[in-house]
Amino acid sequence: GIARQEAASGGFSITGLLNADTYRYVPDFRATERAFRDLIYLADKTTPGGQLYVQTSSPRDGLFGFVRKFDFKGFYRRELSERKALGYPPYQRMVLLTST
């Protein structure tokens, strides 16, 4: 998760997300969606002219381009395309079975 503590001014001049790759290691088809949500949140809390730093081993991942441009539609289209190709919701149903 992301620590959500805002400065009195309403934003930060420098924000960062360490080890953003951990989103990819979560066995959940919504992991990329959550990464996008959290990065957009951080970008939104960064003051104009400020900087958002992201630690990742995949700096050329298209996800970061969508965040940089606040391109919600582009991200949505890519995410749906990938989910369709992989047979993930909303194109297929999934069931989570757990045992205790």
What are the pLDDT digits (tens) for 2-58? Answer: 544 454 456 889 999 999 999 988 989 999 999 999 999 999 999 989 999 999 999
CA distance 46 to 67: 13
- The letter for the amino acid at 54 is V
Q: What are the domain boundaries of the chain?
A: 12-86
pTM: 0.83
